[in-house]
Structure 1
Protein backbone atom coordinates (compact mmCIF):
# COMPACT_ATOMS: atom_id res chain seq x y z
CA UNK A 1 0.00 0.00 0.00
CA UNK A 2 1.05 3.56 -0.63
CA UNK A 3 1.57 6.06 2.18
CA UNK A 4 -1.64 8.06 2.45
CA UNK A 5 -2.25 11.63 3.48
CA UNK A 6 -3.98 12.00 6.84
CA UNK A 7 -6.12 15.08 7.34
CA UNK A 8 -6.32 16.32 10.93
CA UNK A 9 -9.36 18.69 11.00
CA UNK A 10 -9.04 19.70 14.65
CA UNK A 11 -5.71 21.40 13.95
CA UNK A 12 -7.60 24.06 12.00
CA UNK A 13 -9.56 25.06 15.11
CA UNK A 14 -6.81 25.02 17.72
CA UNK A 15 -3.05 25.40 17.98
CA UNK A 16 -2.57 21.71 18.64
CA UNK A 17 -4.37 18.45 19.23
CA UNK A 18 -3.65 16.26 22.27
CA UNK A 19 -5.45 13.00 22.85
CA UNK A 20 -5.16 9.73 24.69
CA UNK A 21 -5.72 6.82 22.30
CA UNK A 22 -6.91 3.47 23.70
CA UNK A 23 -7.38 0.69 21.14
CA UNK A 24 -6.97 -3.11 21.04
CA UNK A 25 -3.75 -2.90 19.00
CA UNK A 26 -1.74 -0.51 16.86
CA UNK A 27 -2.34 -1.22 13.18
CA UNK A 28 -2.53 2.12 11.37
CA UNK A 29 -1.26 1.94 7.77
CA UNK A 30 1.70 3.94 6.52
CA UNK A 31 0.67 7.62 6.53
CA UNK A 32 1.95 11.17 6.76
CA UNK A 33 0.62 14.64 7.57
CA UNK A 34 1.94 18.23 7.60
CA UNK A 35 1.63 18.43 11.39
CA UNK A 36 4.47 17.64 13.78
CA UNK A 37 3.68 14.72 16.06
CA UNK A 38 4.75 13.51 19.50
CA UNK A 39 3.79 9.93 20.40
CA UNK A 40 4.27 8.41 23.85
CA UNK A 41 3.45 4.70 24.20
CA UNK A 42 1.63 3.98 27.48
CA UNK A 43 0.71 0.34 26.79
CA UNK A 44 1.66 -2.05 24.01
CA UNK A 45 4.68 -3.17 22.01
CA UNK A 46 5.59 -3.99 18.43
CA UNK A 47 7.45 -2.46 15.49
CA UNK A 48 7.79 1.25 14.76
CA UNK A 49 8.41 2.46 11.19
CA UNK A 50 9.69 6.03 10.69
CA UNK A 51 11.09 6.91 7.29
CA UNK A 52 13.50 4.05 6.54
CA UNK A 53 13.91 3.11 10.22
CA UNK A 54 12.30 0.01 11.73
CA UNK A 55 12.73 -0.64 15.45
CA UNK A 56 10.95 -2.32 18.32
CA UNK A 57 8.76 -0.10 20.46
CA UNK A 58 7.50 -0.76 23.97
CA UNK A 59 6.04 1.08 26.96
CA UNK A 60 7.73 4.46 27.37
CA UNK A 61 8.69 4.80 23.70
CA UNK A 62 8.68 8.54 22.91
CA UNK A 63 9.14 9.82 19.36
CA UNK A 64 8.93 13.25 17.72
CA UNK A 65 8.04 13.27 14.02
CA UNK A 66 8.67 16.12 11.61
CA UNK A 67 6.23 17.39 9.03
CA UNK A 68 5.24 14.91 6.28
CA UNK A 69 7.46 12.10 7.57
CA UNK A 70 5.93 8.68 6.66
CA UNK A 71 5.34 6.52 9.74
CA UNK A 72 3.28 3.84 11.43
CA UNK A 73 3.26 1.70 14.58
CA UNK A 74 2.25 -1.98 14.43
CA UNK A 75 1.64 -4.34 17.35
CA UNK A 76 3.55 -7.62 17.44
CA UNK A 77 1.73 -10.74 16.23
CA UNK A 78 1.78 -12.15 19.77
CA UNK A 79 -0.21 -9.12 20.91
CA UNK A 80 -3.14 -10.16 18.71
CA UNK A 81 -3.35 -13.46 20.58
CA UNK A 82 -4.30 -11.81 23.88
CA UNK A 83 -7.93 -12.26 24.89
CA UNK A 84 -8.31 -8.59 25.80
CA UNK A 85 -5.48 -6.66 24.13
CA UNK A 86 -5.10 -3.03 25.14
CA UNK A 87 -2.81 -0.55 23.42
CA UNK A 88 -2.58 3.02 24.66
CA UNK A 89 -0.70 6.11 23.57
CA UNK A 90 -0.74 9.86 24.09
CA UNK A 91 -0.48 11.66 20.75
CA UNK A 92 0.17 15.39 20.36
CA UNK A 93 0.03 17.03 16.93
CA UNK A 94 0.74 20.69 16.21
CA UNK A 95 0.72 22.67 13.01
CA UNK A 96 3.57 24.09 10.97
CA UNK A 97 1.85 27.49 11.31
CA UNK A 98 2.35 27.29 15.07
CA UNK A 99 6.05 26.67 14.50
CA UNK A 100 6.51 29.36 11.82
CA UNK A 101 4.28 32.09 13.26
CA UNK A 102 5.03 31.68 16.96
CA UNK A 103 8.00 29.51 17.92
CA UNK A 104 10.35 30.70 15.16
CA UNK A 105 9.66 34.34 16.08
CA UNK A 106 10.48 33.93 19.77
CA UNK A 107 14.22 34.12 20.61
CA UNK A 108 13.53 32.09 23.75
CA UNK A 109 12.43 29.15 21.57
CA UNK A 110 15.64 28.78 19.55
CA UNK A 111 16.47 25.39 21.05
CA UNK A 112 12.94 24.14 20.33
CA UNK A 113 13.15 25.24 16.68
CA UNK A 114 16.55 23.57 16.33
CA UNK A 115 15.06 20.34 17.65
CA UNK A 116 12.08 20.57 15.30
CA UNK A 117 14.44 21.00 12.35
CA UNK A 118 16.12 17.72 13.35
CA UNK A 119 12.74 15.99 13.61
CA UNK A 120 12.50 15.68 9.83
CA UNK A 121 14.35 12.39 10.44
CA UNK A 122 12.28 11.49 13.52
CA UNK A 123 13.73 11.67 17.04
CA UNK A 124 13.51 9.01 19.75
CA UNK A 125 14.00 10.24 23.32
CA UNK A 126 15.18 8.08 26.21
CA UNK A 127 13.25 9.99 28.87
CA UNK A 128 9.45 9.78 28.66
CA UNK A 129 8.44 13.10 30.31
CA UNK A 130 5.18 11.32 31.12
CA UNK A 131 4.02 13.85 33.80
CA UNK A 132 4.29 16.67 31.24
CA UNK A 133 2.23 14.70 28.74
CA UNK A 134 -0.41 14.06 31.41
CA UNK A 135 -0.48 17.77 32.26
CA UNK A 136 -1.18 18.69 28.63
CA UNK A 137 -4.11 16.27 28.56
CA UNK A 138 -5.52 17.64 31.82
CA UNK A 139 -5.03 21.40 31.31
CA UNK A 140 -7.32 23.68 29.29
CA UNK A 141 -6.93 26.69 27.03
CA UNK A 142 -3.87 28.90 27.73
CA UNK A 143 -2.44 26.63 30.44
CA UNK A 144 -2.60 23.78 27.96
CA UNK A 145 -0.54 25.74 25.41
CA UNK A 146 2.02 26.70 28.06
CA UNK A 147 2.28 23.03 29.05
CA UNK A 148 3.07 22.09 25.43
CA UNK A 149 5.83 24.71 25.18
CA UNK A 150 7.19 23.48 28.52
CA UNK A 151 7.31 19.92 27.18
CA UNK A 152 9.02 21.00 23.95
CA UNK A 153 11.55 23.03 25.94
CA UNK A 154 12.39 20.02 28.12
CA UNK A 155 12.76 17.80 25.08
CA UNK A 156 15.03 20.33 23.35
CA UNK A 157 17.38 20.40 26.35
CA UNK A 158 17.95 16.65 26.58
CA UNK A 159 21.12 15.21 25.07
CA UNK A 160 19.94 11.61 25.27
CA UNK A 161 18.18 11.14 21.94
CA UNK A 162 18.49 9.20 18.69
CA UNK A 163 17.72 10.23 15.11
CA UNK A 164 15.69 7.51 13.40
CA UNK A 165 15.64 7.85 9.61
CA UNK A 166 19.02 7.81 7.90
CA UNK A 167 20.56 11.08 6.80
CA UNK A 168 20.09 10.00 3.17
CA UNK A 169 16.39 9.26 3.56
CA UNK A 170 14.46 11.53 1.25
CA UNK A 171 11.26 9.83 0.14
CA UNK A 172 8.65 12.42 -0.75
CA UNK A 173 5.23 11.47 0.65
CA UNK A 174 3.67 11.44 -2.81
CA UNK A 175 6.56 9.58 -4.38
CA UNK A 176 5.35 6.46 -6.20
CA UNK A 177 8.36 4.62 -4.81
CA UNK A 178 6.67 4.65 -1.39
CA UNK A 179 4.44 1.84 -2.60
CA UNK A 180 7.37 -0.31 -3.63
CA UNK A 181 9.27 0.30 -0.39
CA UNK A 182 6.13 -0.34 1.64
CA UNK A 183 5.69 -3.74 -0.04
CA UNK A 184 9.31 -4.61 0.73
CA UNK A 185 8.97 -3.59 4.39
CA UNK A 186 5.62 -5.30 4.88
CA UNK A 187 6.85 -8.54 3.34
CA UNK A 188 10.00 -8.43 5.47
CA UNK A 189 8.10 -7.78 8.69
CA UNK A 190 5.64 -10.57 7.96
CA UNK A 191 8.25 -13.13 6.91
CA UNK A 192 11.56 -12.37 8.68
CA UNK A 193 11.13 -15.49 10.84
CA UNK A 194 11.25 -17.58 7.68
CA UNK A 195 13.90 -17.89 5.00
CA UNK A 196 13.76 -14.96 2.56
CA UNK A 197 15.80 -15.22 -0.61
CA UNK A 198 16.97 -12.21 -2.58
CA UNK A 199 15.06 -13.64 -5.56
CA UNK A 200 11.81 -13.67 -3.54
CA UNK A 201 12.11 -10.10 -2.26
CA UNK A 202 13.17 -8.87 -5.70
CA UNK A 203 9.96 -10.32 -7.11
CA UNK A 204 7.95 -8.47 -4.46
CA UNK A 205 9.61 -5.25 -5.65
CA UNK A 206 9.06 -6.20 -9.32
CA UNK A 207 12.78 -5.84 -10.01
CA UNK A 208 15.55 -8.12 -11.18
CA UNK A 209 17.95 -9.22 -8.46
CA UNK A 210 20.79 -6.84 -9.52
CA UNK A 211 18.33 -3.93 -9.88
CA UNK A 212 16.78 -4.67 -6.50
CA UNK A 213 20.17 -4.77 -4.76
CA UNK A 214 21.12 -1.39 -6.25
CA UNK A 215 17.68 0.07 -5.52
CA UNK A 216 17.60 -1.02 -1.87
CA UNK A 217 21.14 0.06 -1.08
CA UNK A 218 20.64 3.46 -2.74
CA UNK A 219 17.64 4.13 -0.50
CA UNK A 220 18.85 2.69 2.79
CA UNK A 221 22.68 2.77 2.50
CA UNK A 222 22.79 -0.91 3.48
CA UNK A 223 22.29 -4.25 1.78
CA UNK A 224 18.97 -6.07 2.12
CA UNK A 225 20.69 -8.92 3.97
CA UNK A 226 22.09 -6.46 6.54
CA UNK A 227 18.66 -4.89 6.88
CA UNK A 228 16.95 -8.27 7.31
CA UNK A 229 19.51 -9.25 9.97
CA UNK A 230 18.84 -5.99 11.85
CA UNK A 231 15.14 -6.86 12.09
CA UNK A 232 15.91 -10.42 13.15
CA UNK A 233 18.39 -9.30 15.79
CA UNK A 234 15.93 -6.70 17.08
CA UNK A 235 13.43 -9.51 17.63
CA UNK A 236 16.12 -11.74 19.13
CA UNK A 237 17.04 -9.14 21.75
CA UNK A 238 13.41 -8.90 22.75
CA UNK A 239 13.06 -12.69 23.08
CA UNK A 240 16.30 -12.99 25.05
CA UNK A 241 14.98 -10.49 27.59
CA UNK A 242 11.30 -11.39 27.75
CA UNK A 243 11.14 -15.14 27.12
CA UNK A 244 12.60 -18.34 28.53
CA UNK A 245 13.37 -19.86 25.14
CA UNK A 246 16.78 -21.49 24.78
CA UNK A 247 19.41 -19.63 22.76
CA UNK A 248 19.12 -22.00 19.80
CA UNK A 249 15.31 -21.68 19.84
CA UNK A 250 15.59 -17.87 19.88
CA UNK A 251 17.76 -18.07 16.79
CA UNK A 252 15.23 -20.28 15.01
CA UNK A 253 12.33 -18.03 16.03
CA UNK A 254 14.12 -15.08 14.45
CA UNK A 255 14.85 -16.77 11.14
CA UNK A 256 18.41 -17.99 11.71
CA UNK A 257 18.60 -21.62 10.61
CA UNK A 258 22.23 -22.05 11.68
CA UNK A 259 23.11 -21.57 15.37
CA UNK A 260 26.76 -20.65 14.78
CA UNK A 261 25.68 -18.09 12.19
CA UNK A 262 23.22 -16.61 14.71
CA UNK A 263 25.98 -16.36 17.33
CA UNK A 264 28.41 -14.76 14.89
CA UNK A 265 25.93 -12.19 13.54
CA UNK A 266 24.64 -11.36 17.03
CA UNK A 267 28.12 -10.81 18.48
CA UNK A 268 29.25 -8.74 15.48
CA UNK A 269 26.23 -6.44 15.72
CA UNK A 270 25.54 -6.32 19.48
CA UNK A 271 29.06 -6.78 20.80
CA UNK A 272 28.36 -9.77 23.07
CA UNK A 273 27.07 -13.32 22.67
CA UNK A 274 23.32 -13.99 22.99
CA UNK A 275 23.89 -15.70 26.34
CA UNK A 276 25.92 -12.78 27.71
CA UNK A 277 23.24 -10.39 26.50
CA UNK A 278 20.54 -12.38 28.34
CA UNK A 279 22.60 -12.53 31.53
CA UNK A 280 23.09 -8.76 31.49
CA UNK A 281 19.34 -8.42 32.05
Structure 2
Protein backbone atom coordinates (compact mmCIF):
# COMPACT_ATOMS: atom_id res chain seq x y z
CA UNK A 1 0.00 0.00 0.00
CA UNK A 2 2.72 2.43 -1.00
CA UNK A 3 1.61 6.08 -1.28
CA UNK A 4 1.63 6.94 -4.97
CA UNK A 5 2.39 10.38 -6.37
CA UNK A 6 -0.86 11.13 -8.18
CA UNK A 7 -1.01 13.57 -11.10
CA UNK A 8 -4.18 15.66 -11.15
CA UNK A 9 -5.05 16.39 -14.80
CA UNK A 10 -5.64 20.10 -15.40
CA UNK A 11 -5.71 22.13 -18.60
CA UNK A 12 -3.94 25.45 -19.18
CA UNK A 13 -7.35 27.08 -19.37
CA UNK A 14 -8.17 26.57 -15.68
CA UNK A 15 -6.40 27.70 -12.52
CA UNK A 16 -8.09 25.01 -10.41
CA UNK A 17 -9.96 21.84 -11.29
CA UNK A 18 -13.53 20.87 -10.45
CA UNK A 19 -13.91 17.11 -10.80
CA UNK A 20 -17.13 15.09 -10.60
CA UNK A 21 -16.67 11.36 -9.97
CA UNK A 22 -19.38 8.80 -10.68
CA UNK A 23 -17.98 5.29 -10.76
CA UNK A 24 -18.22 1.78 -9.32
CA UNK A 25 -15.76 2.65 -6.53
CA UNK A 26 -13.31 5.41 -5.74
CA UNK A 27 -9.63 5.38 -6.75
CA UNK A 28 -8.29 3.10 -4.04
CA UNK A 29 -4.47 3.15 -3.87
CA UNK A 30 -3.04 5.23 -1.04
CA UNK A 31 -1.77 8.37 -2.80
CA UNK A 32 -0.76 12.00 -2.43
CA UNK A 33 -0.39 15.01 -4.71
CA UNK A 34 0.88 18.60 -4.44
CA UNK A 35 -2.64 20.00 -4.91
CA UNK A 36 -5.03 20.62 -2.03
CA UNK A 37 -8.25 18.63 -2.36
CA UNK A 38 -11.71 19.67 -1.19
CA UNK A 39 -14.08 16.70 -1.53
CA UNK A 40 -17.81 16.30 -0.97
CA UNK A 41 -18.99 12.68 -0.87
CA UNK A 42 -22.31 12.61 -2.73
CA UNK A 43 -22.99 8.88 -2.62
CA UNK A 44 -20.80 6.13 -1.18
CA UNK A 45 -19.41 4.78 2.06
CA UNK A 46 -16.25 3.11 3.26
CA UNK A 47 -13.04 3.72 5.17
CA UNK A 48 -10.90 6.82 4.76
CA UNK A 49 -7.21 7.09 5.55
CA UNK A 50 -5.96 10.69 5.86
CA UNK A 51 -2.46 11.06 7.25
CA UNK A 52 -2.38 8.85 10.34
CA UNK A 53 -6.16 9.07 10.83
CA UNK A 54 -8.54 6.20 10.09
CA UNK A 55 -12.31 6.59 10.06
CA UNK A 56 -15.42 5.98 8.03
CA UNK A 57 -16.87 8.17 5.29
CA UNK A 58 -20.41 8.42 3.98
CA UNK A 59 -22.63 10.58 1.80
CA UNK A 60 -22.61 14.20 2.94
CA UNK A 61 -19.09 14.16 4.37
CA UNK A 62 -16.77 17.03 3.37
CA UNK A 63 -12.98 16.89 3.67
CA UNK A 64 -10.17 19.36 2.96
CA UNK A 65 -6.90 17.53 2.35
CA UNK A 66 -3.64 19.45 2.29
CA UNK A 67 -0.76 19.13 -0.19
CA UNK A 68 1.25 15.89 -0.16
CA UNK A 69 -0.91 14.37 2.57
CA UNK A 70 -1.31 10.60 1.95
CA UNK A 71 -4.98 9.66 1.72
CA UNK A 72 -7.47 7.26 0.22
CA UNK A 73 -11.24 6.80 0.26
CA UNK A 74 -11.61 3.02 0.14
CA UNK A 75 -15.11 1.74 -0.47
CA UNK A 76 -16.64 -1.14 1.49
CA UNK A 77 -16.17 -4.58 -0.05
CA UNK A 78 -19.68 -4.77 -1.53
CA UNK A 79 -18.74 -1.98 -3.96
CA UNK A 80 -16.29 -4.38 -5.63
CA UNK A 81 -18.88 -7.11 -6.13
CA UNK A 82 -20.52 -7.55 -9.51
CA UNK A 83 -24.08 -6.33 -10.10
CA UNK A 84 -24.32 -4.44 -6.80
CA UNK A 85 -26.02 -1.29 -8.20
CA UNK A 86 -23.87 0.86 -5.87
CA UNK A 87 -22.20 4.08 -7.01
CA UNK A 88 -19.29 6.10 -5.71
CA UNK A 89 -20.06 9.77 -6.43
CA UNK A 90 -18.18 12.85 -5.30
CA UNK A 91 -17.36 16.44 -6.22
CA UNK A 92 -13.76 17.53 -5.68
CA UNK A 93 -11.90 20.79 -6.18
CA UNK A 94 -8.16 20.53 -6.71
CA UNK A 95 -5.96 23.62 -6.35
CA UNK A 96 -2.52 24.77 -5.23
CA UNK A 97 -1.48 27.52 -2.87
CA UNK A 98 -0.59 29.68 -5.87
CA UNK A 99 -3.45 28.69 -8.21
CA UNK A 100 -4.75 32.26 -8.12
CA UNK A 101 -1.34 33.90 -8.03
CA UNK A 102 1.72 33.52 -5.84
CA UNK A 103 0.66 36.12 -3.26
CA UNK A 104 -3.13 35.94 -3.61
CA UNK A 105 -3.72 34.29 -0.24
CA UNK A 106 -1.36 36.77 1.42
CA UNK A 107 -3.59 39.74 0.63
CA UNK A 108 -5.27 41.44 3.63
CA UNK A 109 -8.64 40.32 2.25
CA UNK A 110 -7.62 36.65 2.00
CA UNK A 111 -5.18 36.12 4.87
CA UNK A 112 -7.87 34.28 6.84
CA UNK A 113 -8.05 31.72 4.03
CA UNK A 114 -4.28 31.29 4.12
CA UNK A 115 -4.55 30.22 7.77
CA UNK A 116 -7.12 27.60 6.77
CA UNK A 117 -4.93 26.26 3.98
CA UNK A 118 -1.97 25.89 6.36
CA UNK A 119 -4.18 23.92 8.76
CA UNK A 120 -5.19 21.61 5.90
CA UNK A 121 -1.77 19.94 6.05
CA UNK A 122 -3.30 17.69 8.72
CA UNK A 123 -6.53 17.07 6.85
CA UNK A 124 -9.81 18.66 7.93
CA UNK A 125 -13.33 17.29 8.29
CA UNK A 126 -15.99 19.99 7.92
CA UNK A 127 -19.06 19.55 10.09
CA UNK A 128 -22.28 21.04 11.39
CA UNK A 129 -23.73 24.23 9.84
CA UNK A 130 -20.58 24.92 7.82
CA UNK A 131 -20.86 21.51 6.16
CA UNK A 132 -24.45 22.25 5.14
CA UNK A 133 -23.40 25.57 3.57
CA UNK A 134 -20.44 23.99 1.76
CA UNK A 135 -22.58 21.15 0.38
CA UNK A 136 -25.02 23.70 -1.06
CA UNK A 137 -22.22 25.67 -2.71
CA UNK A 138 -20.32 22.65 -4.06
CA UNK A 139 -23.41 21.02 -5.55
CA UNK A 140 -23.92 24.10 -7.73
CA UNK A 141 -20.33 24.83 -8.78
CA UNK A 142 -20.25 22.49 -11.79
CA UNK A 143 -23.18 24.34 -13.40
CA UNK A 144 -21.38 27.71 -13.42
CA UNK A 145 -19.20 29.34 -16.07
CA UNK A 146 -15.49 29.87 -15.45
CA UNK A 147 -15.85 33.18 -13.64
CA UNK A 148 -18.80 31.86 -11.65
CA UNK A 149 -16.73 28.84 -10.59
CA UNK A 150 -13.97 31.15 -9.37
CA UNK A 151 -16.35 33.23 -7.26
CA UNK A 152 -18.03 30.09 -5.89
CA UNK A 153 -14.65 28.55 -5.06
CA UNK A 154 -13.60 31.63 -3.08
CA UNK A 155 -16.97 31.71 -1.33
CA UNK A 156 -16.51 28.08 -0.25
CA UNK A 157 -13.04 28.77 1.17
CA UNK A 158 -14.33 31.90 2.91
CA UNK A 159 -17.18 29.97 4.56
CA UNK A 160 -14.88 27.20 5.80
CA UNK A 161 -12.24 29.64 7.07
CA UNK A 162 -14.75 31.27 9.44
CA UNK A 163 -15.55 27.96 11.14
CA UNK A 164 -13.70 27.70 14.48
CA UNK A 165 -14.81 24.10 15.11
CA UNK A 166 -13.07 22.36 12.22
CA UNK A 167 -11.85 18.85 13.02
CA UNK A 168 -8.17 18.26 12.22
CA UNK A 169 -7.75 14.58 11.43
CA UNK A 170 -4.09 13.66 11.17
CA UNK A 171 -1.71 14.31 14.03
CA UNK A 172 1.12 14.43 11.51
CA UNK A 173 1.61 16.94 8.74
CA UNK A 174 3.14 15.42 5.61
CA UNK A 175 3.67 18.74 3.90
CA UNK A 176 6.61 21.00 3.29
CA UNK A 177 7.85 20.81 6.89
CA UNK A 178 9.74 17.61 5.97
CA UNK A 179 12.64 17.26 3.59
CA UNK A 180 12.06 14.95 0.64
CA UNK A 181 14.11 12.25 2.37
CA UNK A 182 12.23 12.64 5.64
CA UNK A 183 8.88 12.57 3.85
CA UNK A 184 9.81 9.30 2.16
CA UNK A 185 10.77 7.73 5.47
CA UNK A 186 7.55 8.89 7.14
CA UNK A 187 5.45 7.71 4.18
CA UNK A 188 7.20 4.32 4.16
CA UNK A 189 6.50 3.90 7.88
CA UNK A 190 2.90 5.00 7.39
CA UNK A 191 2.22 2.51 4.61
CA UNK A 192 3.83 -0.29 6.62
CA UNK A 193 1.68 0.47 9.66
CA UNK A 194 -1.55 0.79 7.65
CA UNK A 195 -0.87 -2.59 6.07
CA UNK A 196 0.19 -4.39 9.27
CA UNK A 197 -1.43 -2.70 12.27
CA UNK A 198 -3.73 -5.67 12.92
CA UNK A 199 -0.65 -7.86 13.49
CA UNK A 200 2.25 -7.62 15.90
CA UNK A 201 4.65 -4.85 14.86
CA UNK A 202 8.13 -4.93 16.34
CA UNK A 203 10.11 -1.72 16.67
CA UNK A 204 13.11 -3.33 14.97
CA UNK A 205 10.99 -4.16 11.93
CA UNK A 206 9.55 -0.69 11.49
CA UNK A 207 12.98 0.88 12.06
CA UNK A 208 14.33 -1.22 9.19
CA UNK A 209 11.53 0.10 6.97
CA UNK A 210 12.94 3.60 7.56
CA UNK A 211 16.46 2.24 7.05
CA UNK A 212 17.49 3.39 10.53
CA UNK A 213 18.70 1.76 13.72
CA UNK A 214 16.07 1.37 16.40
CA UNK A 215 17.52 4.18 18.51
CA UNK A 216 17.88 6.52 15.53
CA UNK A 217 14.36 5.71 14.35
CA UNK A 218 12.77 6.49 17.73
CA UNK A 219 14.60 9.82 17.82
CA UNK A 220 13.72 10.59 14.19
CA UNK A 221 10.03 9.73 14.60
CA UNK A 222 9.57 11.69 17.83
CA UNK A 223 11.36 14.75 16.42
CA UNK A 224 9.21 14.89 13.28
CA UNK A 225 5.83 13.84 14.64
CA UNK A 226 6.03 15.04 18.26
CA UNK A 227 4.91 11.61 19.46
CA UNK A 228 6.44 8.19 20.01
CA UNK A 229 5.94 5.46 17.46
CA UNK A 230 3.95 3.48 20.04
CA UNK A 231 1.55 6.41 20.47
CA UNK A 232 1.14 6.64 16.70
CA UNK A 233 0.51 2.90 16.35
CA UNK A 234 -2.04 2.87 19.17
CA UNK A 235 -3.93 5.78 17.58
CA UNK A 236 -4.11 3.95 14.25
CA UNK A 237 -5.37 0.81 15.98
CA UNK A 238 -7.95 2.63 18.11
CA UNK A 239 -9.14 4.58 15.06
CA UNK A 240 -9.88 1.28 13.36
CA UNK A 241 -11.51 -0.04 16.52
CA UNK A 242 -13.91 2.92 16.52
CA UNK A 243 -14.92 2.10 12.95
CA UNK A 244 -15.48 -1.58 13.78
CA UNK A 245 -17.56 -0.67 16.83
CA UNK A 246 -19.93 1.43 14.74
CA UNK A 247 -20.09 -0.64 11.58
CA UNK A 248 -19.53 -4.32 12.41
CA UNK A 249 -21.45 -6.78 14.57
CA UNK A 250 -18.46 -7.72 16.73
CA UNK A 251 -18.01 -7.80 20.47
CA UNK A 252 -15.31 -5.74 22.17
CA UNK A 253 -12.97 -8.70 22.66
CA UNK A 254 -13.12 -9.57 18.95
CA UNK A 255 -12.40 -5.95 18.03
CA UNK A 256 -9.49 -5.85 20.46
CA UNK A 257 -7.72 -8.71 18.70
CA UNK A 258 -8.64 -7.60 15.17
CA UNK A 259 -6.95 -4.24 15.83
CA UNK A 260 -3.63 -5.75 16.90
CA UNK A 261 -4.01 -5.74 20.68
CA UNK A 262 -3.38 -8.98 22.56
CA UNK A 263 -4.70 -7.88 25.94
CA UNK A 264 -8.24 -6.64 26.56
CA UNK A 265 -7.24 -4.58 29.59
CA UNK A 266 -4.56 -2.79 27.58
CA UNK A 267 -7.03 -2.23 24.73
CA UNK A 268 -9.62 -0.70 27.07
CA UNK A 269 -7.01 1.52 28.66
CA UNK A 270 -5.70 2.80 25.32
CA UNK A 271 -9.24 3.30 24.02
CA UNK A 272 -10.09 5.49 27.01
CA UNK A 273 -6.80 7.43 26.77
CA UNK A 274 -7.30 8.23 23.08
CA UNK A 275 -11.07 8.75 22.79
CA UNK A 276 -11.93 9.72 26.40
CA UNK A 277 -14.61 6.99 26.31
CA UNK A 278 -14.77 3.34 27.16
CA UNK A 279 -15.68 1.25 24.09
CA UNK A 280 -19.21 0.76 25.43
CA UNK A 281 -19.69 4.49 26.08
CA UNK A 282 -18.23 5.36 22.66
CA UNK A 283 -20.75 3.09 20.95
CA UNK A 284 -23.64 4.55 22.95
CA UNK A 285 -22.67 8.17 22.21
CA UNK A 286 -21.90 7.74 18.50
CA UNK A 287 -24.54 5.28 17.34
CA UNK A 288 -27.18 6.76 15.06
- Give me the TM-score of the superposition, normalised by structure 1: 0.84
SS in 1 for 2:100: helix
CA shift in 2, pair 1:241/1:99, >3 Å:
farther
Q: What does residue 147 of structure 1 align with? A: 152
**1:204-243 correspondence to structure 2 within 5 Å:** 204-243=209-248
**1:23-42 correspondence to structure 2 within 5 Å:** 23=23, 24-33=25-34, 35-42=35-42
Q: Which stretch of the first structure deviates more once superposed, 68-77 or 168-177?
A: 168-177
Q: CA deviation at 1:170?
A: 5.5
Q: Which stretch of the first structure deviates more once superposed, 204-213 or 112-121?
A: 112-121
Q: What does residue 284 of structure 2 align with? A: 279
SS in 2 for 1:58: strand
Which of residues 237, 242, 266 in structure 2 aligns to 1:261? 266
CA shift in 2, pair 1:187/1:121, >3 Å:
closer
- Give me the TM-score of the superposition, normalised by structure 2: 0.82
Which of residues 163, 167, 191 in structure 2 aligns to 1:158? 163
CA distance in 2, matches of 1:113, 1:6: 24
Q: Is the Cα–Cα contact under 8 Å of residues 69 and 123 in structure 2 kept in the other structure?
A: no
Aligned pair 1:49/2:54, yes or no?
A: no
Structure 1 residues not aligned, in runs of 5+: none
CA distance in 2, matches of 1:54, 1:37: 16
**1:63-122 deviation line (CA, Å, top 9, x unaligned):** 3244x43332141674676444643321102341415465555x5444334423443444
Structure 2 residues not aligned, in runs of 5+: none
Q: What does residue 123 of structure 1 align with? A: 124
SS in 2 for 1:151: helix
Q: Is the Cα–Cα contact under 8 Å of residues 232 and 254 in structure 1 kept in the other structure?
A: yes
Q: What does residue 63 of structure 2 align with? A: 63
CA distance in 1, matches of 2:206, 2:231: 14
- Report the number of matched residues: 275
Q: CA deviation at 1:5?
A: 6.4
Q: What does residue 100 of structure 2 align with? A: 98
Q: What does residue 16 of structure 2 align with? A: 16
Give the CA RMSD over aligned residues: 2.8
**1:184-233 deviation line (CA, Å, top 9, x unaligned):** 11111111111111122222222222122112212211111111110111
CA shift in 2, pair 1:241/1:5, >3 Å:
closer
Q: What does residue 73 of structure 1 align with? A: 72
CA distance in 1, matches of 2:170, 2:75: 21
Which of residues 133, 136, 141 in structure 1 aligns to 2:138? 133
CA distance in 1, matches of 2:105, 2:210: 42
